[in-house]
C-alpha cells in the first residue's frame, strides 16, 4: 500500500508540475480608447467587466507637424465627459506622436515638447497613474531624436513608468531601429499590409504577412513586451488609382446599391456609382473602396501566431480599440479564447 500510495503521489505531483509549466504566461486583458471624447457608456463598462478588463490605455493627446506652417504642435486633446466608470480601472495615458516630429527637431524644441506633455499629463483628471505610454512609429533616421525625447521625459516624470509601442518591423530588427529607453514595450501586432495599394488583401492583419516578422526575429527582445491585437475596421478610399482616405468603421450606407456597387471578384471591394457623401466625406463616381475587418476567426488565428513571439510572462493583452461595434462582433467568450491562445503559447 505504501508503494502504491508513493506511486500515485509522485504521478500526481508530476502532472501538477507539468500543468504549471504549461501555463507560461499570465494574461491581463485591456483596451485602448482612441476617441477624442472620453465617455464610457454603462454598456461598455459592463462589457469590460465581463471580460475582466481592469486596464485602459487612453489617448490624451496627438502631436504632429502642421502641414502649412511646419511647426510641431499638439492637437486632438482628450475631452473628458465622465470619469466615474474609470475609478476601478488602471489608466495608462497614451500620447501619439507622428514620426515627422522627430525628423528635424532641435534640442530646444525637444525641451519645449517635453514641457508641454508634462504639463498636460500633470493637469489630467486621469490622475493618479503609474504609467505613461508613447505611440510613435520611429525609424532608423529618427530614433536618436525620439530616444533623446524619452530620456528627457524620464527626467521630467521620475516617478512615472514609461512605455512605448513597438511595431513589428522594430520587433524583428532591433539592431536597425534601436530599442527605446523605456521600462516596457507594447507590440502592435497589426497593420501588416500596404494600405496604399488597391490590391492588398487586408492591410489591418494578414497572418501570412505577420509571419514574416515572427520568423527570424531575435529569440529575446531587450524589453518586456505586452501585446496589442486589432478589433477595429475601416473603409479605405482610392481615387484615380491612388490611396486617398481612411473612413473609420464600415458605414451602413455601403449597403445602398444605388450608390455603391460591389465588385464581382471580391465583396470587400466596392465602386462608387454616383457622387455621394460617406461619413462626411465627399466621394466621386469611380472612387474605389476596400472594406477591411477582423472577423473572430481571423482574430483567433492572429492570436495563435502572436503567442509565438517573445512576450513578457505577465502579459497585458490590449485590444485596439474600444467603440460601440466591439460589443457586437467580439463576445466575452471570444475575448477569453484569444487570451487563452496567448496564455498557452506551446499549444500553437
pLDDT of residue 10: 39
Name the nearest CA neighbour of 214 among 287, 315, 305, 292.
Answer: 305
pLDDT of residue 165: 98
pLDDT of residue 324: 87
User: Can you tell me the distance from the alpha carbon of 311 to that of 26, in angstroms, rounded to the nearest whole number?
Assistant: 11
pLDDT of residue 4: 42
CA 77 to mean position of chain CA atoms: 19
Reply yes or no on domain 27-230+297-347 having CATH 3.90.1170.50.
no
pLDDT of residue 3: 47
Residues of the chain with CATH 3.20.20.80: 27-230+297-347
pTM above 0.85, yes or no: yes
Q: What is the mean pLDDT of each run of 10 residues along the chain (348 residues)?
A: 41 35 80 95 94 97 96 94 84 98 97 97 93 97 97 98 98 96 98 96 97 96 98 98 96 97 94 98 98 98 97 97 94 97 79
User: Can you tell me the distance from the alpha carbon of 221 to that of 218, in angstroms, rounded to the nearest whole number?
Assistant: 6
User: Can you tell me the distance from the alpha carbon of 308 to that of 220, in angstroms, rounded to the nearest whole number?
Assistant: 12
Rounded to the nearest 10 degrees, the angle between the axes of helix 296-306 and helix 207-214 is: 10
Amino acid at each position: 500500500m505504501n508503494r502504491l500510495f508513493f506511486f500515485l503521489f509522485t504521478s500526481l505531483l508530476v502532472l501538477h508540475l507539468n500543468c504549471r509549466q504549461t501555463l507560461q504566461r499570465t494574461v491581463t486583458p485591456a483596451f485602448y480608447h482612441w476617441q477624442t471624447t472620453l465617455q464610457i457608456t454603462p454598456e461598455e463598462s459592463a462589457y469590460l467587466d465581463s471580460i475582466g478588463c481592469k486596464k485602459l490605455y487612453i489617448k490624451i493627446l496627438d502631436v504632429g507637424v502642421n502641414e502649412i506652417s511646419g511647426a510641431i504642435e499638439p492637437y486632438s486633446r482628450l475631452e473628458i465627459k465622465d470619469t466615474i466608470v474609470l475609478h476601478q480601472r488602471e489608466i495608462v495615458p497614451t500620447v501619439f506622436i507622428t514620426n515627422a516630429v522627430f525628423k528635424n527637431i532641435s534640442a530646444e524644441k525637444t525641451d519645449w515638447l517635453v514641457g508641454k506633455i508634462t504639463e498636460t499629463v500633470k493637469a489630467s483628471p486621469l490622475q493618479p497613474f503609474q504609467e505613461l505610454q508613447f505611440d510613435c512609429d520611429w525609424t532608423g533616421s529618427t530614433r536618436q531624436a525620439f530616444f533623446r525625447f524619452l530620456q528627457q521625459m524620464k527626467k521630467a516624470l521620475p516617478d512615472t513608468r514609461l512605455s512605448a509601442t513597438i511595431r513589428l518591423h522594430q520587433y524583428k530588427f532591433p539592431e536597425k531601429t534601436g530599442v527605446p529607453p523605456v521600462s516596457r514595450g507594447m507590440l502592435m501586432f497589426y497593420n501588416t499590409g500596404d494600405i496604399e495599394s488597391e490590391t492588398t488583401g487586408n492591410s489591418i492583419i494578414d497572418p501570412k504577412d505577420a509571419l514574416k516578422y515572427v520568423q527570424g526575429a531575435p529569440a529575446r527582445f531587450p524589453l518586456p513586451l505586452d501585446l496589442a491585437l486589432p478589433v477595429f475596421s475601416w473603409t479605405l478610399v482610392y481615387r484615380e488609382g491612388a490611396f486617398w482616405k481612411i473612413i473609420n468603421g464600415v458605414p451602413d450606407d455601403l449597403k445602398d446599391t444605388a450608390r455603391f456597387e460591389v465588385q464581382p471578384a471580391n465583396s470587400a471591394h466596392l465602386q462608387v456609382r454616383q457622387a455621394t457623401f460617406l461619413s462626411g466625406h465627399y466621394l466621386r463616381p469611380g472612387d474605389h473602396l476596400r472594406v477591411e475587418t477582423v472577423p473572430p476567426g481571423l482574430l483567433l488565428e492572429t492570436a495563435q501566431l502572436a503567442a509565438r513571439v517573445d512576450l513578457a510572462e505577465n502579459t497585458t493583452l490590449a485590444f485596439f480599440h474600444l467603440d460601440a461595434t466591439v460589443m457586437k462582433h467580439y463576445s466575452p467568450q471570444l475575448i477569453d479564447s484569444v487570451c487563452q491562445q496567448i496564455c498557452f503559447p506551446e499549444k500553437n
